[in-house]
Structure 1
Amino acid sequence: MKKIYLIFFSTILFTACNKDFLERYPTSTVSPPTFFTSENDFKIYTNQFYSFLPGGTDVFGETADNIVKSSLDPEVAGTRLLPETDSKWNWDDLRAINFLLTSQNAINYRDVTVRDKYFGLARFFRAMFYFKKVQLYGDLPWYNHAIESGDSISLKKARDPRTLIMDSVLADINFAIEKLEATKSVERITRYTALALKSRICLYEGTWRKYHTAFNLPDADKFLNECVSASETLMNSGAYQVYTKTTGPTGKPYQDLFATLTIDPVADEVILGRRYSAELNIRHGLQFYMTSRTQGKPGLEKRLVNSYLMADGSRFTDIAGYDTMQFYNEIQNRDPRLAQTIRTPGYTRIGQTTVLSPDFQTTMTGYQPTKWLNIIAYDGSGQSVNDLLLFRLGEVLLNYAEAKAELGTISQQDINISIKLLRDRVGMPNLIITDANTKPDAYQAALYQNISSTNKGLLLEIRRERRVELVMENDLRWEDLMRWKEGHLVAEPFRGAYFPGAGLYDLDKNGSTDLQVYAGNKPADASYYQVPVSDLTEGTKGNILVLKNITKVFNEDRDYLWPIPAGQIALNKNLSQNPNWK
């Protein structure tokens, strides 16, 4: 497949200050009398929308409780303050979208089919724009037109209710599904991309309304049913399937979804991605972030590692003494996705033969991520060129199963056409509904305290599956915790691997020391990483306690929504603040 890279020329790049962007037409060369008179005009103008898609750390840089880094984002630490300004409260993208949708030349274009295809694209991006804003702020001013200079009524608009916004988002994404072409493309928005976005949006909104009862929002089941419908349509289209080929760089299909340099070989499953290119010098910093000693030292958190099942489908946390197992023993005979996500004994980089143990100089927890890594040549700062995945069938399958379980309409056949396919890829036994509901997992139940369903055991297993399958993808874990009303999990102390006391440790049992835990003064001249015993949870033994001097908090009455910047409220007295932000 030929790659299409989006190069945005100065004639269609429009920048604006946040305070006045709503008032200005992008009229440097694009004006109502002269533009949107050919399909090429529509294509040139809408190319800019693709720059609105997430990229780089937005895709792989998780901020919740899956991945632990050397510093905490304010929302994880609980240190967010009411800001004067905030880049998240930026509406430039919407201005560009609405300009197209309200241009009289565009509305009056002679070929309605062509016009509606690009209107469908614009409404896809408007749905995505407002969905992300609602996740942050809840109620918002709804704008479906390009605001003209001097329109003080629109500029001073109050926040519309979340119900109006999300009904409008639903109308936009449904229009996109109807008007976009039903063709496969890993780099262009199609009907299938719109279905995947609708699946994500409606699962989020349905579960948010179900679990955030204090907001008293109606129609949770309506959105869950819309999620099921969109997911089912995409699943039944036959356009995508779970990637199972063993011809990739590692021969392991789950790992190869993320280890390939280009999406094309794994396009069976990938619905949309973001392209990068060494030739065009379009790069990102993924491998530098994951391999450098200075870029965060990411590591999987202990509770996530505990959540991986055994290879036979039984629960790791049901094993006596699971919580004091050392690294080598705890990763034996686990769900293969664990060894395809972190360094485990025998791990080698793609294209290399040197066996590598976990390197505590580049990971905070000892559970060193390998998902997304390719050859060493791309480890330098800003040198990564592997394409990044934005939507894939695997997520849609999980959305479908969760929505059906929340509705109470799920059957074993629903599991067989969704979660079973993901487990089959890695040789894991199927999830059986009766088994899950008969004996809910106590360990998972202690994590997820807010489930209200006759399918509690099943939902616990679906949440486990989602966490394992989608780690380090599009910050979905943060979104999950927010919609499930389980924000308390980010305030839990972050932990790493277990060590029974001071001593030398050979983590992968290859005969060489990888780490020393020491008591007293730090020993001199060690050729391996050293950890003071005081960094363990029990002082003389235990799990590595990451960022032990930081006490994280999560305010259940405040932190599920972001604050409206104070400067915006000063400019527009009709804007109200979110609850308990002062």
Structure 2
Amino acid sequence: MKRTISCLAIALGLVSCNLDLLPQDAIAPETFFKTENDLQLYTNSFYNALPGAEDVYNEDVDNVVKTSLRDELRGTRVVPTSGGGWSWGTLRNINYFLANSNKCPDPKAVAKYNGLARFFRAYFYFGMVKRFGDVPWYSQPIESNNEEMLTKARDPRAMVMDSVMADLDYAIANLGNARQVNTVTKWTALALKSRIALYEGTFRKYHPEYNLPNADKFLDECIAASDELMKNSGYTIYKATPQTAYQKLFASDNAIAEEVILARDFSDESQVYHNLNYYTMTASYGRPGLEKRLVNSYLMADGSRFTDIQGYDTMQFFEEVQNRDPRLSQTIRTPGYTRIGETTRLVPEFGATVTGYQLIKFVSEPKWDTFNKDITDMPIFRYAEVLLNFAEAKAERGTLTQADLDRSIKLIRDRVGMPTIHMADANAKPDPYQAEMYPQLKGANKGVLLEIRRERRVELVMENFFRWDDIIRWKEGQLLTRPFKGMYFPGPGNFDLDKDGKVDLVIYEGTKPTVPGAQILKLGSEISLENGNKGGNIVINGHINKSWNEARDYLYPLPTQEILLNPNLTQNPNWK
């Protein structure tokens, strides 16, 4: 079912950018909220709070690199005058519904749609807490004469998150058991609870500076929610041929409902589109490409570590992508790649990818390549994430067993024919390449947690900005200050990227050569290597300084205008 903003939603004042008051011209609640259809019509508008397509695929932290850098990576965020995410219109609409839904005489319908509203209130507050930490908790719409609520101080994060969990528990108890890929159900609420509880539990564990209690309680909540979904929902990992299953999952016009719990629906019939194909194949959107450290993190097909191979860091493209985890060749163009439904073999196009590792995840048939004309559905929650959450929470709690890995990570790896994680081996010999990236990680389960983090990064790349959230909750902002790199080249020369006997790429100095059919890039201007004409990895944005303030940057600042209007609000630490 497609979700759109209705005329009723507009009439009820659903478009807002601040803590709006009840609109005086709203449809009177005494004449509305009388039937289940009224409740459904109103709550349909809540779906607009879910991520749009670009919010799903458009990540640009340290997994996917572009020609430009976000302010968060450059360290150039400033305190905004207004806006900055301090927006409460969505919450006001939810609370207005909850204050009036009981006018419907059907108690089952009221409970169901209240469950939906409280799901979205939990979703809203999770976003606000991630961004700002302590925030005011509002469970009722605010009247214009309620000075106390209008000038409310920030409530403690611990109190807000307890309220979020209570909302989710209500949603889980009152939403239907049916699996519906475009509708929030009990299973969606359990998946959200799994996500939120893992985030909050690990944030509290790795951020002692905030003095937040009960990290283990949230990890246990994650384990319980994930376990219930794993045992009772009927969701599975989508499987087909190991060499295509992962790619097909994301290139499907209609979300594959055996794994996707909730998705954004796009269709040609309804003329609802996004821009994914165009985004990955033109220079207009920053030429996105995988970053070198992520490419290095993909295991070999036999489960061994690529970074244990002598000389891995100077391997050229063809050699480095051989016999790797099949998800690598289903995420980027590798030798032999063809578009879906076509037979022409394609190499990476450097005009469309700044690192050389050109994205193909979500890329569908060429007929959808036109600007803003793509229709692949966008997953917001899928079963693989729940399995990853379960394994990580168990490992963080110290209760993980090999049996737990076999009912979680193993299922994900079985999709592409990869060996599972062996807990004892991982803990006995932690991967030094991964360990260097995550210095905060310590303890007896360090090795297996490193492998779970690897798995999470590989499986969830390009989805829902998971990587940003993971870096924040693990307190590893230092990762964002490292140089971003791409393919390795030994210096200027002619390169046959797929070893078919034809030159695909020329990197030159001096006079531009003529090589029919080849991409031609000038060293130092159109492509930069670490050591100039002596070669090295492609360097992206090497001239731009990146910084991270450990005492400040894990939270965003509140807008100055809001602090001036409400003297009871305080600014986040070290933002001036």
User: Which position in structure 1 is the counterpart of 2:185?
Assistant: 190
1:130 has 2:125 as partner: yes
Q: Check conservation: 2:251, 2:361, Cα contact below 8 A.
A: yes
Give me the whole-angstrom Cα distance separating, in 1, the residues matched to 2:515 and 2:81: 49
For the residue of structure 2 that corresponds to 1:51, the secondary structure is: helix
| Aligned equivalent of 1:377 | 367
**Residue 520 of structure 2 corresponds to which residue in structure 1?**
529
The amino acid across from 1:334 in the alignment is R
Residues 1:519 and 2:518 are matched in the alignment: no
Q: Aligned AA for 1:553? A: S
Opposite residue 231 of structure 2, the aligned amino acid is N
Distance 1:518 1:570 in 2: 57
Normalising by structure 1, we get a TM-score of 0.96
- 1:261 aligns with 253
Q: Which residue of 1 aligns with 2:17?
A: 18
Does residue 335 of structure 1 match 2:328?
no
Q: Which moved more, 1:109-118 or 1:349-358?
A: 109-118
For 2:537 and 2:510, locate their aligned partners in 1 and report how far apart those are by CA, in whole Å: 18
Equivalent residue runs for 1:1-400 within 5 Å: 4-13=1-10, 14-19=13-18, 21-25=19-23, 27-28=25-26, 30-103=27-100, 106-246=101-241, 252-263=244-255, 266-400=256-390
Q: Distance between the aligned counterparts of 1:521 and 1:158, measured in 2?
A: 65
Give the letter for the 2:53 counterpart. Answer: G
Amino acid across the alignment from 2:574: N
Counterpart pick for 2:458 among 450, 459, 468 = 468
Give the corresponding residue for 2:531: 538
Match of 1:433 in 2: 423
Aligned residue for 1:415, secondary structure, equals: helix
Residues 121 and 164 in structure 2, CA contact (< 8 A), matched pair in contact too:
yes
**Aligned-residue CA RMSD in angstroms?**
1.5
2:564 to 559, 570, 573: 570
CA distance in 2, matches of 1:475, 1:193: 18
Instruction: Choose from 432, 441, 449 the match for 1:459.
Output: 449
Could you report, residue by residue, the CA deviation over 1:281-324 in whole angstroms, capped at 9, with x for unpaired residues?
11111111111121111000000000000001000000000000
Q: Is the 8 A contact 1:558 1:579 kept in 2?
A: yes
Structure 1 spans left out of the alignment, 5+ residues:
none
Hey, what's the Cα distance between the residues in 2 that align with 1:84 and 1:238?
46
Offset at residue 26 of structure 1 (A):
7.3
Give the AA of the match of 1:435. Answer: D
Q: 1:26 to 1:126 in 2, by over 3 A?
A: farther
> Partners of 2:14 and 2:84 in 1: how far apart?
14
Which of these residues, 454, 461, 467, is aligned with residue 477 of structure 1?
467
Q: 288-297 or 530-539, which moves further after superposition?
A: 530-539
Secondary structure of the structure 1 residue equivalent to 2:234: coil
1:178-212 Cα deviation digits (max 9, x unpaired): 11111100000000000000000000000000000
1:482-522 Cα distance to aligned partner (Å, 9 max, x none): 00001111111100000011111111112222222223465
**2:550 is aligned with 1:560:** no
User: CA offset at residue 269 of structure 1?
Assistant: 0.5
Aligned length: 570
Q: Which residue of 1 aligns with 2:545?
A: 551
CA distance in 2, matches of 1:518, 1:189: 54
Distance 1:91 1:316 in 2: 47
Assess if the C-alpha contact under 8 Å between 1:292 and 1:362 holds in 2: yes
Distance 2:222 2:474 in 1: 16
**Residues in 2 aligned to 1:203 and 1:429: alpha-carbon distance in whole angstroms:** 25
AA at the equivalent of 1:417: R
* CA distance in 2 between partners of 1:521 and 1:448 (Å): 44
Q: Residues 191 and 381 of structure 2 are in contact (CA less than 8 Å); yes or no, is this contact kept in structure 1?
A: yes
d(CA) in 1 for partners of 2:513 and 2:71? 35
State the distance in 1 between where 2:573 and 2:511 align: 49
CA shift, 1:352, in A, is 1.3
Taking the aligned partners of 1:71 and 1:296, their CA distance within structure 2 comes to: 6
Distance 2:463 2:474 in 1: 18
TM-superposed CA distance for 1:8, in Å, is 2.7
- Unaligned 5+ residue runs, structure 2? none
Separation of aligned partners in 2, 1:410 and 1:401: 7
Question: How far apart, in 2, do the equivalents of 1:31 and 1:412 lie?
Answer: 58
CA drift at 1:523: 4.8
Q: 1:430 Cα shift?
A: 1.3
TM-score, with normalisation over the residues of structure 2?
A: 0.97
